Amino acid sequence: MKAIIYETYGSPENLKLKEVNRPEPKADEVLVKVLAASVNQADGHLLSGTPFPVRFSSGLFRPKHQILGADISGVIERVGKDVTQFQVGDQIFGDLSGSGFGGFAEYAVAKEGVLAKKPKNLTFEEAAAMPMASVTALQGLRDLGKIKKGDEILINGASGGVGSFAIQIAKALGAKVTAVCSRRNADLAKTLGADEVIDYAVRNFTQEDRKFDLILDGPVNHSLNQIEPVLKGGGRYVAFGFSMEALMLGSWKSYRTGKKFATLMAKVKKDDLVLLATLADEGKIYPPIQQNFTLDEVPEALSLMKKGKISGKLVITI
């Protein structure tokens, strides 16, 4: 099969399209014919081996798993003898980040707990854009953010993959949403359901008088001391982008202020994928896609993501 391989840490130029052996599913795994995948920041971190702590799980000096790609959609081609929830021919989508990645290839193996049936009204490309970003948004809002109907929430980084799903999920859960993004992405944020859009180049939300029940933060470009005054009493702050400050000082800051400061470490759960597929089938969420690429264009897609300022998702058709 064809796959995008990297053998050393570095830049997208390290990625090569090669012919490799097709993986064999274990007893508790399925073999998926991958029809689409999508790019995430996690792929960029694994490719570069940064921040350094990622190497403790991905390989200290060389990558342990040589095929990137977490988000996939496709068709099940074989099932292991212990698999009970899927059968050959099922159309699925899921997140391989907990089992060695491997999505930038014509075939991949996965445990059934990280897959769900593909939303019926989405294409394979649209379904592949969902798993990691939408699960991160859901868990950030619901599990750490404790979102409630009527909450006033702010999403910093609202036009990226996670942010674009967060707007839609928050609206589906009855919240009032303020989106922070660039002016060029304001129309997208409004289309996704944002009640108000702040252009970060013009207004700094930490310097305004408004307060929020919940702040979901991707860029993590403000300190906790700057964030704290714009949270209501008992308010919650959730960083879904990497925040060493929130990781190290969040508990102390929470104790000191009575407000909650946390860093999200999202983990794929089958039940969450099923819920998100239901929301997609009901028309309550959909994946905004900025651009489609082919398998051999994965390096180009990762280079574009590295530059930042992405609107929605970058998808790979395989």
Q: Are 103 and 166 found together in one domain?
A: no
Query: Amino acid identity, residue 229?
Result: P
User: For residue 54, what pLDDT is reported?
Assistant: 86
- Whether 36 and 114 map to the same domain: the answer is yes
Q: Is 147 a member of any domain?
A: yes
C-alpha 5/C-alpha 72 separation (Å) is: 17
- Phi, psi of 146, deg, nearest 5: 50, 45
Q: Are 241 and 298 contained in the same domain?
A: no
Looking at the chain, the whole-number percentage of residues with pLDDT higher than 90 is 91
Question: Based on the domain organization, do 125 and 202 belong to the same domain?
Answer: no
Q: Which residues are CB-neighbours of 39 under 8 A, at least 6 positions away?
A: 298, 301, 302, 305, 313, 314, 315, 316
Q: How far apart are CA 126 and CA 167, in angstroms?
A: 17
pLDDT of residue 204 exceeding 90, the answer is: yes
* Per-position b or e across 16-52, b if 16+ CB within 10 A of its CB: ebeeeeebebeeebbbbbbbbbbbbbbbbbbbbbeee
Q: Find out whether 141 and 177 touch, Cβ atoms under 8 Å.
A: no
Residues 6+ apart with CB under 8 A from 304: 291, 310, 314
Are 140 and 217 in the same domain? yes
Full domain range(s) for residue 58:
2-130+287-317
CATH number of 65's domain = 3.90.180.10
214-241 pLDDT, tens digit each:
999 999 999 999 999 999 999 999 999 8
Do 138 and 123 reside in the same domain of the chain?
no
Q: Are residues 70 and 30 in the same domain?
A: yes
In this prediction, residues 17-28 reach a mean pLDDT of 97
Domain-located, residue 154: yes
> Is 259 among the domain residues?
yes
Q: Do 146 and 250 have their domain in common? A: yes
Q: Is the pLDDT of residue 243 over 90?
A: no
On the question of pLDDT at 272 being above 90, the answer is yes
Q: What is the dihedral of CA 279, 281, 285, 290, to 10 degrees?
A: 140
Q: Reply yes or no: is the peptide bond before residue 63 cis, omega within 30 of 0.
A: no
Q: Are residues 155 and 205 in the same domain?
A: yes
Residues 121-170 have pLDDT tens digits of: 999 999 999 999 999 999 999 999 999 999 999 999 999 999 999 999 99
In a domain, 20, yes or no: yes
At 71, which helix (H) or strand (E)? strand 71-79
Averaged pLDDT of the chain: 96
In a domain, 275, yes or no: no
Same domain, 96 and 112: yes
Which residue type is seen at 313?
K
Residue 231 lies in a domain: yes
Q: Which residues of 113-133 are buried (b: 16+ CB within 10 A; e: fewer)?
A: bbbbbbbeebbbbbbbbbbbb
Average pLDDT of span 23-50: 96
Residues 171 and 107 in one domain: no
- Measured N-to-C along each axis, helices 131-138 and 270-281 cross at an angle, to the nearest 10 degrees, of 100
Domain containing 229 — which CATH number? 3.40.50.720
Domain count, the chain: 2
User: Residue 133's pLDDT is what?
Assistant: 97
**Across 24-29, average pLDDT:** 96
pTM of the model: 0.95
The whole-number pLDDT of residue 168 equals 98
Do 209 and 168 belong together in one domain? yes
In this prediction, residues 109-125 reach a mean pLDDT of 97
| 196 in a structural domain | yes
In a domain, 272, yes or no: no
Segment 302-308 mean pLDDT:
92
What pLDDT, on a 0 to 100 scale, did the predictor assign at position 292? 97
